[in-house]
Structure 1
Amino acid sequence: MVHRLDPLVIRHTHRVPVPDGPAGEGAVAARQFDAALMSVGFKLSAELLEHLSGLARDTVVGIAARTLRTVRELVGDHVRHNVYFIDFPAGVPDTFDFWMRCVAEALADDTTRANTLRQLSTGVVDLLTLPAYGAYQHTYARMLAHHDELIAAAGDRLTVLHRGGSSEDELTSLYLALAGSPTPLGEEALADLRELAGHCADGPQPAEIPVRENRAVLNLARVMAGSEPLLDTVTDVLRLACAFAGGDVTLRAPTRLRALPRPVRRTLLAGLDAVVAAAPAKLADVHAHREMWKRLGERLHPHEYPRWPHAADVFAVARGEKAARSLDGRVEELLAAGDLTGAVALLKSAPGKLFRSLDRLLRAARTQEEREAVVAAAEQTVPDVSGRVVLSVREHLHNRARETGERRVFVNRLGRAWVTDDTRPPVPAPARDRLIGALDAELRRRLPATDHLLIDPDVLDVALPLSGKATAAGLGVLPRGSVSPVDGELLRFFVYWKQTERTTDYDLSALLLDADYATDSWLSYTNLREVEGEHSGDITDAPDGASEFIDLRLGAVRSACIVPQVDIYAGEGFEETEESFFGFMLREAGQRGRPFEPRTVRMKSELRGPGRVALPLAFLRGSDGRWRAKWLHLYLKGAPAANRVEDNRVTVATLLRGIVEREQFTVRHLTELMTGGATTVTVWDGRTLPAGPVTYIGLERPDGLHPASRIITPENLRDLIPA
């Protein structure tokens, strides 16, 4: 039964859980397993292949079946990717010629002739009324018959799967890593933690749970297993109530709080009473979610439990019947009265809030004495601030020295982006530089010592994942703001979606911009062919799933920037479809192959965000002529329907300028802080590995590292963030 959870381990760690026995003759099955994996761009490590070869054949076959199913889904090969134009990328017609052909076929059809003639008489024809438009004109099997086999190339992706321990050991290790994450998890990882928490409730537990939403997931598992929940704020109790209701423990989306069993009500009220009794000032936290507290009070019936009077106070505050001044309110009163020094002194009791307010406080300071008070308070409290906040403020202060003061780009935790005018005065340079020095010193103090640091140079420009919300789930996905090399002659984007109930039309497009972010051209269903590439054709309904592709010859691209985007023309949003994902492939010119070839997929990410326009990443050509990917993970609000690349060019260009010109805190910056003292630093050449243990940081784990090495890849990059 435990093997049911093995796919979680494979997805998160690229390790395959394997048993120690029973022994047998599994060599043939292991080699067949390895060959099947290579067809989708994966491979067994030498150690894993050797271990599987010594197991019983049936055991190897069971592991192979689970693993193949998981990696196919990971890369997007678990669905059929058909195309409208059967010979794509060959045979894509001129857009106008294609539309005229669809009109001609509609006129030749007795059932559509009259309606088409009426439309022609008005001068406007709705493409969606033409039978030949928007629906596959051939089967998947027939499409495959039109394409030659993919020719293998040295640049094809090959992701190595490594040997894991037993399923129980691997699941426990993954559970502890996710539960103890120093940064919030993404939606998929949080769902995985929820499943793991139930399985691991009786086993080892993390020493610390820094992220509150993770704590809510664990608390639900603890209560279900008969243990006491870990609660030290009133909001912890609210999150736990949402977890019991199957709702959103992040408290971003409203949760429908249903009637709760009496034992659960007692658990929540007892926990709430204990928190407030120990620290009555925490009643002030109720104001942040007062409407949810009111609704929860209707479900908990606190008046039925007079032995927990402090719990009743929480609901009295929510209803406005009891006063509870918040720290934020007191700070605002002091600032309004011009008492900045008093506000800073008060904020020292909440170091995280102080650090998030530093920019505002420094701008509000009118004298050198006030600025000195702000900086001194930050220097005194920085040891008590989480590493994630220290890094975030460090990145912010660095960019404040570079910002032009014209436009600001905002991105919320859901990936929704918007732009507004920047009316802020600058932060005084001496104070900013002094704070940056203090933050760097604190980060250097917290980073673990290492004797030998082995670094893959391709990872240096990867942004640290200060939140899992800034990275989509999938394969080869990097955090927002990261830069990674793109090497290949042909760049092919793809999108796949499968609607749940309503007719749903997603449109894959690519916007090509010059060095000043002005539009050069675009590829979309309204412009199927350009000098640089081709569009595979518009699909307008996806009851069984649909795919669209764009092919670009990088050597022919004259623009400085390529921005793929997915526009929702009609139907279900990204979070409503049964499944939706985006990705890109890289090929050499002579490889041929099917429109979708898993071995050439470099990235596949889930599309699960707000808004009606998705911007997963952009491709930038550097001064050296090489292309690099800049990871965005952004969603624009868009229009309710009929979103098109032509209509959002200005917004996309403005957003892109703000993201591209902002410098993230990257692995490069952190490793520069780590390399002091006696640390030996080796930049890996991709071939020779040190004989002894190292701390390795790279995009993928090499096969053959010393078993005692510490390994950091994008799957666990959050482990670099100091506590």
Structure 2
Amino acid sequence: MVHRLDPLVVRHTHRVPAPGGPAGDGAVAARQFDAALMSAGFKLSTELLEHLSGLAASRVVGTAQRTLRTVREMVGDHVRHNVYFVDFPANVPDTYDFWTRCVAQALADDATRAGTLQQLSTGVVNLLTLPSYGHYQHTWAEMLAHHDELIAAAGDRMTLLHLGGTPEDELSALYLALAASRTPLGEDGLRDLRDLAGHCADGPQPEEIPVRENRAVINLARLTAGHDPLLDTVTDVLRLACAVAGGDVTLQEPTRLRTLPRPVRRTLLAGLDAVVAAAPAKLADVPAHREMWKRLGERLHPHEYPRWPHAADVFAVARGEKTARSLDGRVEELLADGDLTAAVALLRTAPGKLFRSLDRLLRSARTPDERAAVVAAAEQVAPDVSGRVVLSVREHLHNRARETGARRVFVNRRGRAQTADDTRRPVPAPERERLITALDAELRRRLPAAGHLLIDPDALDVALPLSGRATAAGLGVLPRGSLSPVEGELLRFFVYWKQTGRSTDYDLSALLLDARYTTVTWLSYTNLREKEGAHSGDVTDAPEGASEFIDLRLGAVRGTYIVPQVNIYAGEGFEEAEESFFGFMLREGERKGRPFEPRTVRMKSELRGPGRVALPLAFLRGSDGRWRAKWLHLYLRGEPSANRVEGNRVTVATLLRGLVEREQLTVRYLAGLMTDDATTVTLWDGGTVPAGPVTYIGLERPDGLHPRSRVVTPENLRDLIPA
């Protein structure tokens, strides 16, 4: 059981649970393990190598097999990446020459000649009907024979794996870290938390579970293990019912509730009754999910349990037989009546709602006294607002200083994005600045003393993860809005997908824009070759998996922005496919190697969004000529089929402009708040680390840090968010 969950520890922490077993001479096996890892861009830390060397060789081999499977999947090296053009990136033909060649081959084939001639007579030929188009013309092994071995370079990615504690200790620590996260987890994080919660149900539990979705997942594990669920709102019960049904605990997507066993019905009704009995005002939360409550009532049969009358009140409110006015509704009535003072007084009882309403309240105020009252109320309740909300409002107020006429970007919980004109009136500058000062002071008060702060400069522009849904599962992935340096001459994108049941065609493309967000050119299956680079060729079916690549020479790029995207031309969506992921590699000069080389991969992220067009990230050329990655993690609705880069150029450019012009709160901002007269700050240059304990913030944990150091990397960046 423990070995089954070990990959979660490696993926989330880059630590290998310390294998037990008899001592022995495992040095040779450990060195072989290290060498195998290096081929995938990973390496054992000094401490981990020493530990493994002291174990029996059989234990080292078992650990190596499990870990290698995990890291190869993390980087995308667990599948075979073939290319349509066997010599890619060399010898990629001109698009129209290639299409003409495919037509000629179809005319030479007795089986397809007549149909092709018929199409030619109409002036239009469907490429998908040509036998040589869209399918690999060679095997993976034949493709490898056309490429020389990659020569190792100093710039290759090398991700360290560190020594962890015992498997049980590591699983418990990871469970507690995810369960107590102050920011919502993404779908993959929730899935991992579900597995860990089941394993750790009888072990140590977090003192606090701030995120309600996490609580629902943990409550399901507690219910399964025979423990009472943790319920303090009526919505906790609804989320738990959705978890039991295997549905969406965020309540954003409809869940098909099923018939529940009688013990589960009793547990849910008893919990619901206790919540309402302790605080009848919580019935006001019911109307927000009225239809879901009605459907749950049909499964719980509350009329069969008269001993829980308060639970029955919940369903009476859902059916409209009993009234429960929500705080939001009462606030709306007061604002509609022009009574801002009373609305602010009411919102003070819900500090989080007051903070989320600050922009509107300040714009609604008609006099300086009313605006001052809004600011004063925010200052008074600030200590009771979660750190995540304080940071979100701080970021919002900073961006409200922009001139009117800008574009607003809306991104929902699942990464679906759209834009609109910003027609709001400005937030008055004096009140905005006063609030920013107050929020900075509140955040500074909450942050722990850093002592010796050791910072990787490349991490300074990483956006704070105010939501785990603003990122994606994978390797080297940063939160939406982050900027990270791009060092290398050759930039290569890749996408891999494997269909589940029906023919599926994903198209990798790259849109190049100038400084005014106007199209310069693009690379895709309709434009295989440009002076900037080349496309590996269109693959239109993936029963055994398929890959596409785009190679770009950064020095030759005309323009300021590069926007890679994955368009679904036909078939299964990103969430339907058996597997789908995107990534990019960096190489120097004229280096050889296969189209996919794992140790050159800088980022690999899962594609699991709701739209038909994926925008994982963009690349920006700064005024200094250097390129940086801007992380997006966005999905566009797109069309049901035949999505192409040519068709969404305007939408992508508009969306990119809105995101580039918006400024996120970053590690740089929070590190500034953590710095005081008692703090020593060192920018780490990649050399020797300090001998004593430090607070380290960086993209990867260095080897040799003091064991009492506090370490923050992208894998646990959420730990920077204050309570």
Measured against the shorter chain, the TM-score band is over 0.9
1:574-603: CA deviations, max 9, x gaps? 100000000000001232100000010000
Q: How do 1:643-654 and structure 2 match up within 5 A?
A: 643-654=643-654
1:20 and 1:271 map into 2 onto residues whose CA distance is 43
User: 1:159 aligns to what?
Assistant: 159
User: 1:704 aligns to what?
Assistant: 704
User: 2:688 aligns to what?
Assistant: 688
User: 1:120 aligns to what?
Assistant: 120
User: 2:529 aligns to what?
Assistant: 529
- 1:420 Cα deviation from its structure 2 partner: 1.0
User: 1:15 aligns to what?
Assistant: 15
1:556 and 1:405 map into 2 onto residues whose CA distance is 34
1:461 and 1:406 map into 2 onto residues whose CA distance is 23
1:125 and 1:448 map into 2 onto residues whose CA distance is 66
2:527 and 2:355 map into 1 onto residues whose CA distance is 49
Identity of aligned residues (%): 85
Kept in 1: contact 2:172–2:200 (CA 8 A): yes
Q: How do 1:260-271 and structure 2 match up within 5 A?
A: 260-271=260-271
User: 2:374 aligns to what?
Assistant: 374
Kept in 1: contact 2:500–2:576 (CA 8 A): yes
Using the size of structure 1 for normalisation, the TM-score is 1.00
User: 1:171 aligns to what?
Assistant: 171
User: Tell me, what secondary structure is at the counterpart of 1:522?
Assistant: strand
1:462 and 1:406 map into 2 onto residues whose CA distance is 24
1:265-293: CA deviations, max 9, x gaps? 00000000000001001001001111000
Kept in 2: contact 1:238–1:293 (CA 8 A): yes
2:632 is the alignment partner of 1:637: no
- 1:295 Cα deviation from its structure 2 partner: 0.3
2:98 and 2:558 map into 1 onto residues whose CA distance is 26
Kept in 2: contact 1:565–1:616 (CA 8 A): yes
User: 1:57 aligns to what?
Assistant: 57
AA aligned to 2:238 is L
1:49 and 1:275 map into 2 onto residues whose CA distance is 53
C-alpha root-mean-square deviation of aligned residues, in Å? 0.7
Kept in 1: contact 2:509–2:524 (CA 8 A): yes
AA aligned to 2:101 is R
User: 1:410 aligns to what?
Assistant: 410
- 1:338 Cα deviation from its structure 2 partner: 0.3
User: 2:678 aligns to what?
Assistant: 678
- 1:409 Cα deviation from its structure 2 partner: 1.0
- 1:677 Cα deviation from its structure 2 partner: 3.0
User: Tell me, what secondary structure is at the counterpart of 1:135?
Assistant: coil
Kept in 1: contact 2:404–2:426 (CA 8 A): no
User: 2:511 aligns to what?
Assistant: 511
1:511 and 1:244 map into 2 onto residues whose CA distance is 44
5+ residue gaps, structure 1: none
- 1:20 Cα deviation from its structure 2 partner: 4.2
AA aligned to 1:237 is V
User: 1:229 aligns to what?
Assistant: 229
AA aligned to 1:670 is L
2:540 and 2:523 map into 1 onto residues whose CA distance is 17
User: Tell me, what secondary structure is at the counterpart of 2:625?
Assistant: coil
User: 1:554 aligns to what?
Assistant: 554
AA aligned to 2:592 is R
User: 1:241 aligns to what?
Assistant: 241
1:200-246: CA deviations, max 9, x gaps? 01111001100000001111111211211110000000001111111
1:149 and 1:342 map into 2 onto residues whose CA distance is 72
Q: How do 1:408-447 and structure 2 match up within 5 A?
A: 408-447=408-447
User: 1:669 aligns to what?
Assistant: 669
1:440 and 1:246 map into 2 onto residues whose CA distance is 41
1:320-342: CA deviations, max 9, x gaps? 11000000100000000000110
User: Tell me, what secondary structure is at the counterpart of 2:507?
Assistant: strand
1:657-690: CA deviations, max 9, x gaps? 0101110000000000000130111111110211
Kept in 1: contact 2:11–2:70 (CA 8 A): yes
Kept in 2: contact 1:405–1:424 (CA 8 A): no
AA aligned to 1:544 is E
- 1:406 Cα deviation from its structure 2 partner: 3.4
AA aligned to 1:330 is R
User: 2:544 aligns to what?
Assistant: 544
- 1:404 Cα deviation from its structure 2 partner: 3.5
1:144 and 1:407 map into 2 onto residues whose CA distance is 47
2:688 and 2:605 map into 1 onto residues whose CA distance is 32
Q: How do 1:338-377 and structure 2 match up within 5 A?
A: 338-377=338-377
AA aligned to 1:631 is W
Q: How do 1:282-321 and structure 2 match up within 5 A?
A: 282-321=282-321
User: Tell me, what secondary structure is at the counterpart of 2:534?
Assistant: strand
Kept in 2: contact 1:197–1:218 (CA 8 A): yes
- 1:21 Cα deviation from its structure 2 partner: 3.2
AA aligned to 2:643 is N
- 1:407 Cα deviation from its structure 2 partner: 1.9
Kept in 2: contact 1:462–1:482 (CA 8 A): yes
Kept in 2: contact 1:86–1:146 (CA 8 A): yes
Quick check: 108-117 or 69-78, which moved more? 108-117
1:567 and 1:676 map into 2 onto residues whose CA distance is 48
AA aligned to 2:691 is A
1:427 and 1:174 map into 2 onto residues whose CA distance is 42
User: 1:46 aligns to what?
Assistant: 46
1:290 and 1:244 map into 2 onto residues whose CA distance is 19
1:214 and 1:394 map into 2 onto residues whose CA distance is 25
User: 2:75 aligns to what?
Assistant: 75
AA aligned to 1:262 is R
User: 1:660 aligns to what?
Assistant: 660
User: 1:613 aligns to what?
Assistant: 613
Kept in 2: contact 1:219–1:229 (CA 8 A): yes
2:608 and 2:568 map into 1 onto residues whose CA distance is 13
User: 1:454 aligns to what?
Assistant: 454
2:241 and 2:483 map into 1 onto residues whose CA distance is 40
- 1:421 Cα deviation from its structure 2 partner: 1.5
Aligned residues: 723
Using the size of structure 2 for normalisation, the TM-score is 1.00
User: 2:277 aligns to what?
Assistant: 277
Quick check: 420-429 or 8-17, which moved more? 420-429
2:103 and 2:397 map into 1 onto residues whose CA distance is 58
1:622-649: CA deviations, max 9, x gaps? 1111100000000001111100000100
2:349 is the alignment partner of 1:326: no
- 1:109 Cα deviation from its structure 2 partner: 0.7
User: 1:86 aligns to what?
Assistant: 86
User: Tell me, what secondary structure is at the counterpart of 1:90?
Assistant: coil
User: 1:150 aligns to what?
Assistant: 150
AA aligned to 1:569 is Y
AA aligned to 1:563 is V
1:495-540: CA deviations, max 9, x gaps? 0000111111000000000011100000000000000000000000
1:393-445: CA deviations, max 9, x gaps? 00000000024323211111110000112110100000000000010000000
AA aligned to 2:511 is L
- 1:116 Cα deviation from its structure 2 partner: 0.7
AA aligned to 1:361 is L
User: Tell me, what secondary structure is at the counterpart of 1:648?
Assistant: helix
1:282-326: CA deviations, max 9, x gaps? 001001111000000000000000000000000000011100000
Kept in 2: contact 1:183–1:468 (CA 8 A): yes
5+ residue gaps, structure 2: none
Kept in 2: contact 1:480–1:632 (CA 8 A): yes
User: 1:479 aligns to what?
Assistant: 479
1:477-503: CA deviations, max 9, x gaps? 000000000000100000000011111
